[in-house]
Amino acid sequence: MKKLLIIIAITFTTISCVNGLNGYKETDKTFEIGSTVNAYFRFIRPGKENGFPRNVIASYASEEEITLLLSLVGDNTGSIYDLIDNPYSDKSKAYKATQEKFGDFNPHTSLFRYYTHKDGNEWILESGPCYYYCFSEQITKIAITSNADWDSEHTAGKDLSELFVAEFASLSDYVQRGFTGSPETYIRKEVNLLTPSDLSLLMERDWNIFGGYDISFVTTTIPENIYNHTITITFTLDTGETISYSKNLAIHSN
């Protein structure tokens, strides 16, 4: 049967209010899943991604500031709904493996109940804290370089990470402190000071085609000939793989 997903971030106590809605009948299909992350995604591999075309990096440059915005979401690697719909699928196994990797076994489980509409179609109602999206891959290091001399100390190809400040959202602190307090932590640090822990459970903020971004980099150190530069941002993953994203500052907007 066709399934329509209704996601409602409410508490467990309020979910019972739906039972009284006209035209719906609660079935015996109930699932409790202990996780904070609703679904995991891969980072985009430049030149290897299919599907919706996008600029991975948007850049905005002025005499005072350069901002790079990265929209990094790639394929969905697994979600809670895979555990419900097909618990033996590859995506279900990948989801469980990522949970294990990041230690995201939240005791404050999310409750999923099926409700049957009067026309026979099934609806899923969700409650609890589980409505976050993260990347399944772990960044261990970020490097930023340019193809031209930035200044006398930062010649072409030299790491510029000390000049840029990164900003992004993460669930790492929430998981590490035992699932207490606010799940989202907004991290703002110089790139050279970022730790693997900071970059663990990096949140996917792009919302697919809606034009958002997942991580930003800002510098107020401006090179003399700004439009001569192509900046490359390189992620090193815990697998040893590197992924690089490049942007010519002469083309400074999407």
Check residue 227 and give its pLDDT.
86
CA distances (Å), 126 to each of 75, 80, 150, 222, in order?
A: 23, 11, 50, 48
Strands 132-135 and 66-70: unpaired
Check residue 248 and give its pLDDT.
92
Question: Do residues 24 and 116 touch, judged by C-beta distance below 8 A?
Answer: yes
Distance of CA 37 to the CA centre of its chain: 10
Q: Which of 218, 223, 231, 214 is nearest to 165 (CA)?
A: 218
Per-residue model confidence as pLDDT tens for the chain (254 residues): 333 333 323 233 333 333 434 455 556 677 788 888 989 999 998 875 555 456 688 899 888 999 999 999 888 999 988 888 888 999 999 999 999 999 999 888 777 776 666 666 666 666 555 678 999 999 999 999 999 999 999 999 999 999 999 999 999 999 999 999 989 999 999 999 999 999 999 999 865 444 568 999 999 999 988 989 999 999 999 999 999 999 999 865 44
Question: Do residues 120 and 1 touch, judged by C-beta distance below 8 A?
Answer: yes
Stretch (H or E) spanning 75: strand 73-79
pTM above 0.75, yes or no: yes
Check residue 47 and give its pLDDT.
73
Check residue 210 and give its pLDDT.
44
Residues 6+ apart with CB under 8 A from 32: 109, 110, 111, 112
